[in-house]
Structure 1
Amino acid sequence: MCGITGFWNPSRTSERQLRTALDQMLDVLDHRGPDDRGSRLYVEQGLALGHTRLSIVGLDHGHQPIESRDGDLAVTVNGELYGYKTLRTQLACETLTTSGKSDSAITLPLYRKYGLSFVEHLRGEFAVVLYDHREKRLILIRDRFGVKPLYYSVNDNGIAWGSEVKSILKHPDIQPRMCPKAVIHQMMQVMVPGSTAFEGVQALQPGHMLIVQERDGRLETSLKRWWDLEFPESHVENADPAEYVQGVQDRLIDAVATRLEADVPVGCYLSGGIDSCSILGLATTLQQSPIKAFTIAFDSDEYDESNIAKLMAERTGAEQELLLLTEKELYGPAFERATWHAERTFYNTLAVAKWHMSRRVRACNYKAVITGEGSDELFGGYPFFKRDWLGREDDAGIFAGAILAEEDLQHTAWNDLCGFTPSWIQPWMMTLARVRPLLSSSMQDLMQQYDPVAEVAGAIDPNQVRGRHRLDVSQYTWCKTMLEGQILTWGGDRMDMANSMEARPAFLDHHIAEYAVTIPPDVRIRDGIEKWVLREAMVNVLPRELYERKKFAFMAPPAHTSPVIRAALQDMIDHWLTDSRIAALGVFDTQKLRDFIDQAWKETDHTIARRNDIIMNHALQLHILHGQYIEGMPLPAVD
């Protein structure tokens, strides 16, 4: 795991200018790679490649950028490429630099042999930037699900890229500005795939590559999708579930075993869900020594599941590291730091909790953990998946207001795309409706011409949803939006790498994913039981209490649940939402926002109160982001 950044500006051919600009871009990625730093300049071309390294594989020979012996190829890689030893043997790899035996080094011989299709031979979580000097071609590549981030900005001067937006904003040709449309999307939680909070900066979408070709001193760009989560147009009827149970078990064992490979100790994140418990159970069986398990606990019985995690740790003999978090840790300086790392708003302080946990992992001298992200996406684990297929349940519990809408909503763009409006977007449509009256006059004018819900639908490939089963459609649209846009960013990579810690989501191994889409819906969800096929595959791994347990909402306690949490959030609101700051951002009508916050604290309906909490979090963070990235305010220290 590392940080990669760089730029290509054919008119910028001063070595001093290239070096100065690249160093500034690398400086803000130190947290992603504190172990080493490298760069490669092609001065005559105006191209600079930069890399900060977190050493996990090939500790003594992983320096990047990596170059071919003839100097025609150079590459920077962020992530882990599994099975590299076998590939290295099969390819009889050329000797590269001192990085010749690292996992990242297989990219160049693969590219030499297969050209652009080399990426199809990569297994793992990765972002790759490869320069072909002979072809005057630059290739930006992102892994299949977007586990590893990669952003870019194209303008008249050229292109800049980075593992995080903040590195791009340090380039001298780029002026940091918040994007008004993206502000609307952040307030409703759902970003348009490929967008960011900042004008002119885009996210390379998962399973895509951006090809930059120089012709006569000008750069031409083209996007190519090289992989997608493709559900079949029909499923096997009356299938034998045992076949799929065994298929999931075999592939998950292989994925966990693969991710235990490292030159440093690998631990596990452990919540009370069947996903992380399955990972821990398999890792314990596969590894000789006891596994270190890291668990977040909250001081709220309704939102804490550490008792189940403790049961699993005891069953497996894992050494459990339990981190109890209160409002003191979830708000204040840590909240501001998590916002800076996330580069967008988040609806719940689970992101802050994840920041604290990665900090604890590093304090325990661990650099890598295996996680359970992706299981719900592949096996139908979320309640909105079940609702879209099997219909509405009366009691949404703590899901209401944040994960499930309390009423059924429809939107023409989504109905045209899918044949229905997926349940996962409906609570955010309700959030948008509540936000709209709070906006300033200029933002109200924007909303007259811009439909954010339709824009999200417009970013989905209709060929991948039409003619598919309703459950497949719901899972696919969620994966193309919220999986990448929130779970793998502010819920994953950004909070993990904030403290130089690598997360390895075993369920998102593409061998599992490509098999999971073939599993019939009534095997994924059977007799109303979500993730049935996974439960059966892990029946000998999971405690009975967990095997029979329904999906639990893994989130931090919202502010309305405790007067102490409310006071902590209100302190931050008082500091950041001043009249001058609200006016400078220009998103809200000051008085309407203040009236909303006053009324929010008086709300007694828990569903509406959860939605109010979400809106306050988003509004607060928009002003924090403006202060951090536009005004250049320094980050606070965290005890």
Structure 2
Amino acid sequence: MCGIFAAMTRDGLPGDRCDQLKLLEHRGPDGTGTWTSRDGKWTLGHTRLSIIGLRNGSQPMTSPDGAVHVVVNGEFYGYREIRERLRSSGYRFSTDSDSEIALHLYDQRGMQAATQLRGEFAVVIADERQRAMFAIRDRFGVKPLYYTVVNGEVFFASEIKALLALGVPAAWDLEGAIGGMGRSHEITEFAGISTVPPGCYAIARDGQVRIHPYWDWKMPTAEQMAVDTRNEAEVVAEFREALRDAVRQRLVADVEVASYLSGGIDSCAVLGLAQQEMDRPIRAFTLTFDNALYDEASIAEAQAKHVGATFHPIPITGREIAESFADAVWHSETQMFNGHGVAKFLLSRAVRNAGIKVVFTGEGSDEMLGGYPYFRVDALNNDPSLRLGQRSALLDEMLGANAATRALMMPEQVDSAEMRAVQRRLGWLPATLNVAANQAKSVAPLFRDDLPASVREFQPLVSALDRLPLSQRIAGRDRLNQMLYVNAKTVMPNFILNFLADRMEMAHSIEGRVPFLDHHVADAAARVPVSMKVKGIREKHVLREATKDVLIPEVYDRQKHPFSTPPTRDANDPMIEFYRDTFASQAAKDQPIYDMAKVSTALDKLLDYPPDQRIAVEGNLQRVASVVVMQELFDMA
């Protein structure tokens, strides 16, 4: 994992390239490098976290003829086999790094090289012969990659802060800022700054950027699934082999590979499969809280012992979350609605202090297999085998089993113009999108009265759907699969893979490896029948069966408990002090979105809510606090 930036300017970059590299140093503290074209107009920059080819993998890398230059952030799996094929075709390698295959694949196949790359990556290629730069992002957007065009000059970077250091102005995109979880992934909260979408590459030439897809997640239609002749055992075996191979590939490193571990099936399954491949115990790190409803230490410890890993608890306090909130927002560059992102930030810091550079993580399983409660609601509502009474009983059971997060994950149905527009586009009302709609509805009363009407009336869910190929990827699919696809294009890259993954890990130079988002696993997951993704209210049935041999019974039988931090408990909670100080700051007065008098009133009422509802109400306050922090740290206009 590394940090990268690229610039295509008319007159060259002002100042020292070290300014931009310094802001990406947390992504790669083991070395830096730059390349600048002979005329000084093009620049590539790289900060390195050395994982493979420790002694000779410096970047940028340059082709033998000196015309093509590349910087890579991430890991390519199966690179050894690709390297041997390229060698047999006459290519010579000067490093042991996996990154070098990108340089030679591009020479051999042009932009078709993107389809040959497997893993979590962002790549920028500067081709002086073509007078163009090519930027490639991995299939699900595990690795970040931003770009902007300013006065005909094009800039790419791993993080927005590096773009700002390159001279891009920092200003709010108000539609992006209020868009919340459901906004289209191309949009950020910074005006004029976009993401290269997952599974796409960008071509920058003559001051313009064009986006082209090279891969998309293809869900079979309901008709195609109806003629699937595999039995359950065959489906389970196929999924297990895909996941096992993804885990095995991600054990390749020249440094120790550890694992994050919760009490949920996702990280437990990954740890169990990884430990089967190892002849030494894997170090497993677990967040712990002093609130029993949110603490999973006992289950995680039992799971680690069961598979032969070593258990390392990392206790997190409310004081630490309050003190680190601003740092986490600085690294995520987006709003947060729970302290779980800050907790992941603190976990990664502890793991780095333990001397670890690489960890397995369980992100992506819920998004592949329908793990979250709202996915299960959509699956239940579309199950023709259930009578109305059965469906209602199962929904009540699920609601009762999710006391920690039901206010966030299973809110009441929102009746709004936006949700009616969603229904017209899809032909039904998804519980999955209702979560984002409910968040938008609950935070809207805190908006400033002078927020432009065009912003108030913006419909981020509709905008996101209108940017997706609904007729190609949604029509004719089971409803659960429709929402898995939509979620993969919105919530997952916007938030899950940001402040619960890459940005919190890389804040402390930790490379997170995500087996569930290997595209071979994703293809296998797409072929899993809906009834084996969600069976009744039992989520991820196929994963339970595929990894049963490495799971303790408590994990195998446990219902999904989404990762979150405990809500504020009382008036002495450190987060209350953090909110009051943040909301009284000059930045709070300067930010253009929220009315701080309304926000202060909401804060005064926070503790009046019961704990199972307080987590959702506090989520709004954390969104406001994030905006204030961004206003100050990024000097937003």
Q: TM-score, normalized by length of structure 1?
A: 0.93
Confirm or deny that 1:563 pairs with 2:553.
Answer: no
Structure 2 residue aligned with 1:616: 621
Q: Mapping of 1:148-297 within 5 angstroms?
A: 148-172=143-167, 174-186=168-180, 189-213=181-205, 218-234=206-222, 235-237=225-227, 239-297=230-288
Structure 2 residue aligned with 1:636: none
Contact 2:142–2:502 (CA<8 Å) still a contact in 1? yes
Contact 2:144–2:159 (CA<8 Å) still a contact in 1? yes
Q: What one-letter code is carried by the residue in structure 2 that aligns with 1:389?
A: A
Q: What one-letter code is carried by the residue in structure 1 that aligns with 2:192?
A: G
Contact 1:193–1:205 (CA<8 Å) still a contact in 2? yes
Q: Mapping of 1:547-558 within 5 angstroms?
A: 547-558=556-567
Structure 1 residue 206, shift from structure 2 partner: 0.4
Q: Output the CA distance in 2 between the equivalents of 1:96 and 1:575.
A: 59
Contact 1:84–1:103 (CA<8 Å) still a contact in 2? yes
Confirm or deny that 1:625 pairs with 2:630.
Answer: yes
Q: Output the CA distance in 2 between the equivalents of 1:614 and 1:556.
A: 11
Q: Mapping of 1:245-394 within 5 angstroms?
A: 245-332=236-323, 334-391=324-381, 393-394=395-396
Q: Output the CA distance in 1 between the equivalents of 2:455 and 2:41.
A: 41
CA distance 1:94–1:58, shift in 2 (3 Å): farther
Q: What one-letter code is carried by the residue in structure 1 that aligns with 2:564?
A: M
Structure 1 residue 416, shift from structure 2 partner: 2.7
Give aligned pairs, total: 614
CA distance 1:153–1:598, shift in 2 (3 Å): same
Q: Output the CA distance in 2 between the equivalents of 1:553 and 1:291.
A: 24
Q: Output the CA distance in 2 between the equivalents of 1:312 and 1:618.
A: 35
Structure 1 residue 509, shift from structure 2 partner: 0.8
Structure 1 residue aligned with 2:11: 12
Structure 1 residue 212, shift from structure 2 partner: 1.2
Q: Output the CA distance in 2 between the equivalents of 1:63 and 1:151.
A: 22
CA distance 1:447–1:109, shift in 2 (3 Å): closer
Q: What one-letter code is carried by the residue in structure 2 that aligns with 1:438?
A: L
3-state SS of the aligned residue for 2:407?
coil
Equivalent of 2:441 in 403, 408, 433: 433
Structure 1 residue 326, shift from structure 2 partner: 1.2
Equivalent of 1:539 in 535, 548, 552: 548
Q: Output the CA distance in 1 between the equivalents of 2:226 and 2:179.
A: 38
3-state SS of the aligned residue for 2:154?
strand
Structure 1 residue 41, shift from structure 2 partner: 0.1
Q: Output the CA distance in 1 between the equivalents of 2:250 and 2:596.
A: 50
Deviations 1:209-263 (A, max 9, x none): 11112xxxx3332110111111012313574111110001111111111101100
Q: TM-score, normalized by length of structure 2?
A: 0.93
What is the percentage of aligned positions where both structures have the same residue? 34
Q: Mapping of 1:580-599 within 5 angstroms?
A: 580-599=586-605
Q: Output the CA distance in 2 between the equivalents of 1:230 and 1:241.
A: 21
Contact 1:252–1:512 (CA<8 Å) still a contact in 2? yes
Q: Output the CA distance in 2 between the equivalents of 1:365 and 1:79.
A: 20
Equivalent of 1:520 in 511, 521, 529: 529
Structure 1 residue 523, shift from structure 2 partner: 1.9
Structure 2 residue aligned with 1:635: none
Q: Output the CA distance in 2 between the equivalents of 1:70 and 1:132.
A: 11
Structure 2 residue runs without a partner (length 5+): 382-391
Contact 2:170–2:636 (CA<8 Å) still a contact in 1? no
Q: Which moved more, 1:399-408 or 1:508-517?
A: 399-408
- The root-mean-square deviation of aligned C-alpha atoms, in Å, is 1.9
